[in-house]
Amino acid sequence: MSPHRVLRRLLTGALAGGVLAAATLTGAPAAAGASVAPLSASLVRQLTSVTGAVLPVLVHGATLTDAQHAVAATGMGTVTTFRKVGVVVATGTPSQIAEARTEPGVTYLEGNQRIAFSTTTSHQATRGAEATQTLLGADGRSLDGSGVTVAVIDSGIDPNHPAFAGGKVVRNLKSLCLDEAGTDTACVVDVPAFVDTDTLAVGGHGTHVNGIAAGNPVTLADGSQVSGAAPGAKIVSISTGAVLFIIGAQAGLNWVLDNHANPCAGCPPIKVVNNSYGPAADAPYEPESVTVKIQEQLAREGVVTVWAAGNSGGDGSATTTNPPGHDQMPGIISVASYNDLDNGTRDGQLSEFSSRGSATDPNTWPDLSAPGENIASACRPYLLICSTGLKPQSGPGFLDVGSYNTISGTSMAAPHITGIVAQLFQAAPNATPAQIEEALKATAHRFPGGEPYQDVRGHLTSFDKGAGLVDVVEAARALGATVR
């Protein structure tokens, strides 16, 4: 079955009606003495509204073999496996899912859920351009992210855009993990290097985000210059399409987990992955989710994970920040949006739309702020997100009409940090994700306004701004970058 048919099936009224037995949802044992694995909140919501329909489900096992056995024993269909975290992505009826809860070694069952990009309708503020001009990495080259690959999970990329010319995109991938082939095959697949996966998705978001992280320096038709934060870095783009579901994004994260050391022949390793999407603002943080398991394993293996904090504003009375960013494992970074007031100032203000954490729970606070308001990057005027931009500009070529645009959101703040992390790994190739995050937080510029900074776990931070505005020069010097 094609991914599009599966999506339609999941979203139609055919799934409505009926309630799974209360005992199944509350954890009451199916038989005396039986152990029952817990369900994620998203799966509970789905199970209480269906009868007999096939649902996607992530089966967590104490080992991968346990998860595979449970899927086979209950007759569910396998879509793919996340081997390093012991999870099988499967499809099954509510009764099969209930049966799987009691299979030996099953620890958790997780549902699919809709997610969305963190977008609303400069490198001067971060001192990123200054770092490139004045500092050298461990390789003796300008600090531009050389020797590092960044992975971006998003709607896709237009590899033919001038921002990505010269072989910058080293892998062009597409997640097809709702294709119910019924076999255990990888569902993140290569597409030809020239294929515009963003246009296939009718997106635009991914091209803009990739350009912010690692786009080439380009002089636009009006003489102004645009560059990604790490123009020397390579890109692995993983397209999940414009309509995002968590399983597709998780499969992208899992691909990075399996391939970060050698993303392609002769490619530098992936050291950071950007995630400018997330579930609804009121979704809970689920520490047992596949997303958390994968990003924590990535951190153990030397890869930083960056999350957009979200665009739901807030006043601190309750958290509105993106749940995966609540993970406190070092090397998992949540990014708020800073407004440089369009003049590169370092004493601007937090964007009004930027999500805030709960004032009483520091685990929900953003880690850092980076420019996310009125950010110019790669676009195509015919793509949905790009058409919402505020200032279309033409690129260098005759056919590059409107190929750059200005868009705002924490989706734009996160890839600033992603590119900056690439710069920092160039400065200190052997640094751990924890050391990268420590350098970023310890050297952040504490811009004024908003909520006061407080000492939390040895860092000055706040529930709206995190540790403050990223300072590339100071963070790189803290990690050993040398001055030209």
Over residues 102-141, the pLDDT tens digits come to 999 999 999 988 776 655 546 678 999 899 999 999 999 9
- Closest among 240, 293, 304 to 270, alpha carbons compared: 304
pLDDT of residue 243: 55
Dmax (CA) of the chain: 75
- Closest among 290, 326, 322 to 40, alpha carbons compared: 290
Domain with CATH 3.40.50.200 in the chain: 116-483
- Is the pTM for the entire model greater than 0.85? yes
- Closest among 70, 75, 163, 196 to 403, alpha carbons compared: 163
Mean pLDDT to the nearest integer, 428-438 = 98
Residue predicted with more confidence, 342 or 157: 157
Query: Which tens digits make up the pLDDT trace of 74-106?
Result: 999 998 999 999 999 999 999 999 999 999 999
- Token pair listed for 371: 């420019």
Measured CA distances, 75 to 52, 88, 264 (Å): 14, 13, 36
Q: Measured between alpha carbons, how far is 171 from 167 in angstroms, rounded to an integer? A: 10
pLDDT of residue 343: 81
Q: Measured between alpha carbons, how far is 271 from 377 in angstroms, rounded to an integer? A: 22
Query: Which tens digits make up the pLDDT trace of 209-237?
Result: 999 999 999 988 888 889 999 999 999 99
Domain 3-112: which topology? Alpha-Beta Plaits (3.30.70)
Rounded to the nearest integer, the mean pLDDT of the chain is: 87
Q: What angle do CA 306, 310, 314 make, to 5 degrees?
A: 135
Domain with CATH 3.30.70.80 in the chain: 3-112
Query: Which tens digits make up the pLDDT trace of 385-413?
Result: 787 777 888 888 777 888 899 999 999 99
Q: Which CATH class is domain 116-483?
A: alpha beta
The fraction of the chain above a pLDDT of 70, given in percent, is 87
